[in-house]
Amino acid sequence: MADACFSTQLIDGDGVFNVTGLENFMKEVRLGECGLSYAVVSIMGPQSSGKSTLLNHLFRTNFREMDAFKGRSQTTKGIWLAKAQNIEPCTLVMDLEGTDGRERGEDDTAFEKQSALFALAVSDIVLINMWCHDIGREQAANKPLLKTVFQVMMRLFSPRKTTLLFVIRDKSRTPLENLEPILREDIQKIWDAVPKPHAHKETPLSEFFNVQVVGLSSYEEKEELFKEQVSDLRDRFQHSIAPGGLAGDRRGVVPASGFSFSSQQFWKVIKENKDLDLPAHKVMVATVRCEEIGNEKVASFIADEEWQQFEEAVQHDYYPGFGKKISSLLDRCLSEYDMEAIYFDEGVRSSKRQQLESKLLQLVNPAYQSLMGHLRTRTLEAFKESFDKALEKEGFAAAARDCTQTVLEKFDKASEDAAIQQVNWDTSKVKDKLKRDIEAHVASVRTTKLSEVCAKYEAQLTKALAEPVEALLDSASEDTWPAIRKLLQRETKAAVLGLESAVSSFELDEATEKELLAKLEKHGKSVVESKAKEEAGRVLIRMKDRFSTLFSRDADSMPRVWTGKEDIKAITKTARSASMKLLSTMAAIRLEEDGDNIENTLSLALVDASRPGTTDRSIQSSDPLASSSWETVPEEKTLITPVQCKNLWRQFKAETEYTVTQAISAQEANKRNNNWLPPPWALAAMAILGFNEFMTLLRNPLYLLVIFVVYLVGKAIWVQSEIGREFQHGFLPAILSLSTKFVPTIMNILKRLADEGQRPAGPERQREMELQPKSTRNGSYSNATSAGSSSVTTSEIGPEYSSPVAQ
């Protein structure tokens, strides 16, 4: 299928560049996809020399042709551009306005020179259309044209090598082999005559131009032959840029995507009448175009859905495979840039590629930093979890070391997975931050664990010391503080050994371990001191309890009964001495073996001061307790000051004085109760004076029976009224109590005797009485009578009465 023919006016007759038309033309012919695989052919020559006709036949374009029947006039105005059909590679054809036209006048050659310079700047092949009959003539029409071409060529600082294809029109019978040398000689003369810059004084024509000559028959007279020759010439334009082609040795080609911008800049410089610096122009075109391509790729990358998904994903969590996927996206973007910019200047292309890569990496960097932040957080959480599990199986230091090494290796692998191939971003800062976070967590857990271990052994030490110390302080003897010191040393040593073993897995430095052990030892002492201070606050209660225990109980811990035989003074002194011993024990903390004289001082001031012969004046003049501190005892070890001891002793004596007084009273009452019988002399007097009455009783047995009955009644009254027990409380209280009990007791006894008399004897009882001898019956009756009246028993606390019914 034949290519469609597209054409547009590139520059109008007034020299205005058609930017929009060129852009649309490039899109239509898809010129941007050609890279360097394209060629530009232009034609110049006198007006009405058949330039457009030649191009239309040669490249199958649709340029406007002159109508010969209307006369010779200007057909092409400005510069037109079209695409050759069915010629590879893509070939652009420019039809220039003819020279020496009457429409512009003889003196208006500015546009002629501008268009010629533009054609030389952008074209690979320039067709010079000339008449055959002008060859060899000094004033031929092609002479001004060639001068113009060579003159404007000198305005290019480094001209590109252009193929000048001279097309000899209406060739005569003279062979081309004879015409070509003459033409080349004329061309050389014109080249030599053109003024040149100093740098190109000796530069040959072949350095800038590849001159070729072709002849064509007359189109009007020999149309078929003309078309045949044009067809042959067309074949030469196939693959024209290949080595050996018409433009095989061209230089400084602008990539097809930059053709529009390059052409605009060329025409702009030409219009401003400035010299063209082709190398600088090439760099400028490459710079602008590569920058445009780079911006397009950046915009394409930003709009890429896959990149947007990655960017969104890494804002919330770590994304596995981020590095490979982003590297792939960047590589694809850079590859597209390379493909589009491959034909531009290498230095500019590489520089803009680096800028593009830098821009893309700047876009990616926030996502990468966010990813690394999530990776650091995830790694830290993984460390915490694995560390907690490892602590259940191994020691602290080993677990921290192993877990740290493991998670850092995983972090390194994840960092490699997140690494982007196009850049080597340093992850050491993130890794250092992770290490600091891990170290901080390990330090926090270490502090917590050590606190727990220390608290455990402190609690054990507290439990091992508190109650025994309290018991030892309560006993308060000379061996109390030595026993406490021994207990403290033993339990502290055991706790220190346990703590030392427990913290060995932490692999602490020597100073820290010693500090922990010293803290535990200090805690043991503080427990003892705290318990001692606590007990010192209750010393008065303890003293009273000890006094009460020793004063109210005997050596067998049995309650004392003040019978009158006890030495209350000695017992009181012993109990107070023991209380003083307790006070001296609680007066100071004695965890060191340094001796003190607290006990002697208290004994001298408190106990010995109460001995007979000691006056108040002597006590006041040498009172050892008139001080706020003890000798040889530091203030921090003092629990009770001497002045406080004195006040406590005064209060102690005041509160225990009542107990002593009660004991003395009980002893005196007991003595009185034990002496209720008459004195012995009274008993002797009664026996002497009552001798007659006693003899009277012996002579009359009836009196004895009456006395016996009275004795039984009296005994029953004694037991029922508990007279003996009442008199133990004193004489007067006993009389008052018995006065209220006497009448009820008499009535109770009479009632029981009446009940016994009315009870009938049973049949068996009567039969036994009949069978028994009389003497036996009389004895039994008397026993029953005695039993019916009363029954007397004794117990540990005295005589007790119990009735027959109860028995």
Q: What is the pLDDT of residues 572-631, one digit of tens each?
A: 888 888 888 888 888 888 888 777 788 888 888 887 655 554 444 444 446 778 888 888
The token duo for 269 is 């410089």
Strands 79-83 and 90-96: antiparallel
In this prediction, residues 631-636 reach a mean pLDDT of 82
* Domain assignments of the chain as residue spans, ordered by start: 7-65+74-276, 277-425, 677-721
- What tens digit of pLDDT does each residue of 276-286 get? 555 666 787 88
State residue 275's pLDDT score: 59
* pLDDT exceeds cutoff 70 at 115: yes
Query: What burial letters (b/e) apply to 717-755, b meaning 16+ CB within 10 Å?
Result: bebbbbbeebbbeeeeebeebbeeeeeebeeebeebbee
The token duo for 778 is 């009389």
Q: According to DSSP H, which parts of 419-479 are helical? A: 428-475
State residue 617's pLDDT score: 45
In this prediction, residues 240-268 reach a mean pLDDT of 86
Q: Do the annotations mark residue 366 as ligand-binding?
A: no
Query: What burial letters (b/e) apply to 483-501, b meaning 16+ CB within 10 Å?
Result: bbeebbeebbeebbebbee
Model pTM score: 0.56
State residue 662's pLDDT score: 86
Which pLDDT band holds residue 248 (cuts at 50, 70, 90)? Answer: confident
In 116-254, at which residue ranges do the beta strands (DSSP E only) sit? 125-131, 162-169, 209-215
Architecture of domain 7-65+74-276: 3-Layer(aba) Sandwich (3.40)
Separate counts of helices (H) and strands (E) for the chain: 27, 9
State residue 622's pLDDT score: 64
Which pLDDT band holds residue 101 (cuts at 50, 70, 90)? Answer: low
Q: Do the annotations mark residue 665 as ligand-binding?
A: no
HEC string for 623-653: CCCCCCCCCCCCHHHECCCHHHHHHHHHHHH
Q: Do the annotations mark residue 444 as ligand-binding?
A: no
773 or 734, higher pLDDT: 734
Residue 273 backbone class (left: φ over 0; alpha: ψ -120 to 50; beta: rest): left
Average pLDDT over the chain, rounded to an integer: 80
The three-state secondary structure class of 239 is coil
Establish how many alpha carbons lie within 13 A of residue 251's alpha carbon, considering only the half-sphere containing its beta carbon. 10
Q: Do the annotations mark residue 475 as ligand-binding?
A: no
Sheet with 209-215, strands from edge to edge, namely 7-11, 79-83, 90-96, 38-44, 125-131, 162-169, 209-215
Q: How far apart are the first and last CA of the chain?
A: 149
Q: Are 169 and 225 in contact (CB under 8 A)?
A: no
HEC string for 217-234: CCCCCCHHHHHHHHHHHH
Q: Are 724 and 798 in contact (CB under 8 A)?
A: yes
Q: Do the annotations mark residue 389 as ligand-binding?
A: no
Q: Do the annotations mark residue 46 as ligand-binding?
A: yes
Instruction: Write the CB contacts of 765 (distance below 8 Å, at least 6 apart in sequence).
Output: none
Q: Do the annotations mark residue 45 as ligand-binding?
A: yes
Which pLDDT band holds residue 156 (cuts at 50, 70, 90)? Answer: low
Lowest-pLDDT range, 123-132, 194-203, 358-367?
194-203
Instruction: Indicate the Cα dihedral angle 152, 157, 163, 169, nearest 10°.
Output: 0
Q: Do the annotations mark residue 42 as ligand-binding?
A: no
20 residue type, one letter: T
